[in-house]
């Protein structure tokens, strides 16, 4: 997570550094001690109080960044599974949008998001879209051609689309850069003519 955060900060030309330390910074340690007198608070009670304060701060952050636009689960259409975007992904997207346009392109950090593609073994069954838990992949039909629409902004690189593919045809790559992520534009990927068997397909020439 530290490596991801550094990569994103560098994309905006920001000099702030994030690191892990074995001890609390002095200001935070002092604030923690002020939660209650040491004699009146057990170790368990101290950790519980600290957890409550952290949860309160997190809730305030969510409210200030997302307002009324996040942390809701979309109602599924008939015959579809429910989808929901995790709160931390919504916070990441909203926070990066507030920073404006990145000064240089940065590939997707490992485990943050990915670019969806498929090999020639793909049959166009679109089970990848059916089981996508965040709505990054959705079934689409255009001009009699069935396919999927992919939105990098909703991809959490969970790998379920790849794992569910019985043909082992799904490819997740790192070449969806930060600009693609922030544009939030669906990418149309045609697969087969509606109602017909799928020809040999390839998204990455594999």
Q: Is the pLDDT of residue 155 over 90?
A: yes
pLDDT score of 18: 79
Average pLDDT score over residue span 15-39: 72
pLDDT in tens, 64-79: 555 555 545 566 677 6
Locate the domains of the chain by residue range.
107-193
Higher pLDDT, 167 or 59: 167
Of 34-38, 93-97, 192-196, which range is least confident? 34-38
Distance CA 140, CA 15 (A): 42
Question: For the domain 107-193, what is the CATH code?
Answer: 3.30.70.3270
Q: Is the pLDDT of residue 121 over 70?
A: yes
- Indicate the pTM of the whole model: 0.70
User: 61-65, 112-116, 194-198 — which one is most confidently predicted on average?
Assistant: 112-116
Long-range CB pairs of 128-131, under 8 A, 24+ apart, other chains included: 128/161, 128/162, 128/164, 128/165, 128/170, 129/161, 130/80, 130/81, 131/81, 131/160, 131/161, 131/164
pLDDT score of 14: 84
Average pLDDT score over residue span 140-150: 93
């Amino acid at each position: 997570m530290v490596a991801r955060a550094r990569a994103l900060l560098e994309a905006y030309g920001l000099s702030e550094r994030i690191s892990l330390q074995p001890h609390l910074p002095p200001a935070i340690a002092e604030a923690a001690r002020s939660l209650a007198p040491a004699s009146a608070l057990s170790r368990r009670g101290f950790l519980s109080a600290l957890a409550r304060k952290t949860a309160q701060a997190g809730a305030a952050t969510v409210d200030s960044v997302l307002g009324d636009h996040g942390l809701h689960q979309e109602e599924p259409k008939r015959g579809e599974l429910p989808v929901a975007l995790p709160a931390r992904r919504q916070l990441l997207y909203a926070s990066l949008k507030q920073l404006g346009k990145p000064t240089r392109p940065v590939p997707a950090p490992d485990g943050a998001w990915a670019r969806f593609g498929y090999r020639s073994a793909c049959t166009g069954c679109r089970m990848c879209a059916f089981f996508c838990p965040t709505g990054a992949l959705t079934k689409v039909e255009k001009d009699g051609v069935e396919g999927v629409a992919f939105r990098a902004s909703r991809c959490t690189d969970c790998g379920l689309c790849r794992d569910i593919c019985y043909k082992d045809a799904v490819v997740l790559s790192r070449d969806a850069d930060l600009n693609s992520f922030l544009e939030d534009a669906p990418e149309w990927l045609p697969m087969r003519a509606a109602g017909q068997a799928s020809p040999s397909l390839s998204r990455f020439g594999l």
